[in-house]
């Protein structure tokens, strides 16, 4: 049973990868591989704020790390269904709200 589920996921991934031009391994590496770097860049951004330094570079690095996997899908993908764009927009919106909350918390602790 488990083997047939794994086979189905594997076959579906290959078919969708060929159909839409997005390599799921590259997407996964970008998505999960940038998470630790993203966390470090948020900490860098908060530290820059606390020190009174320019937040531009940490913000830019955080932004690039945040959108890298989705940017890959937009650049490499072809003939993507419309729901994929809505899904990516929703994921990005939730991520921005979560990051903003995290930054506000870091700024608040810096001011006390």
* Token pair in block for residue 89: 């927009």
DSSP conformation class of 57 = H
End-to-end Cα, the chain, rounded Å = 56
Measured CA to CA, the distance from residue 34 to residue 67 in angstroms comes to 10
What per-residue confidence (pLDDT) applies to 49? 83
Give mean pLDDT in consecutive 10-residue pieces for the chain, a chain of 112 residues: 84 85 90 93 88 89 91 91 92 89 77 64
- Residue 112 has a pLDDT of 62
Give the pLDDT of residue 100.
Answer: 85
What is the dihedral sign for C-alpha 73, 75, 78, 79? positive
User: Tens digit of pLDDT for each residue in 55-73?
Assistant: 889 989 998 999 999 999 9
Q: What integer pLDDT is reported at residue 103 of this predicted model?
A: 79
DSSP class of residue 77 equals -
Q: How far apart are CA 70 and CA 51, in angstroms?
A: 32
For residues 41 and 98, is the Cβ–Cβ distance under 8 A?
Answer: no
């Amino acid at each position: 049973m488990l083997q047939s589920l794994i086979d189905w996921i594997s076959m579906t991934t290959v078919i969708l990868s060929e159909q839409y031009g997005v390599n799921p391994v590259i997407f996964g590496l970008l998505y999960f591989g940038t998470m630790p770097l993203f966390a470090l860049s948020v900490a860098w951004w908060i530290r820059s704020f606390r020190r009174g330094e320019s937040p531009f570079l940490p913000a830019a690095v955080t932004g690039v790390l945040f959108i890298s996997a989705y940017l890959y899908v937009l650049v490499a993908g072809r003939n993507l269904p419309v729901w994929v764009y809505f899904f990516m927009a929703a994921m990005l919106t939730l991520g921005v709200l979560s990051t903003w909350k995290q930054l506000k918390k870091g700024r608040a602790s810096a001011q006390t």
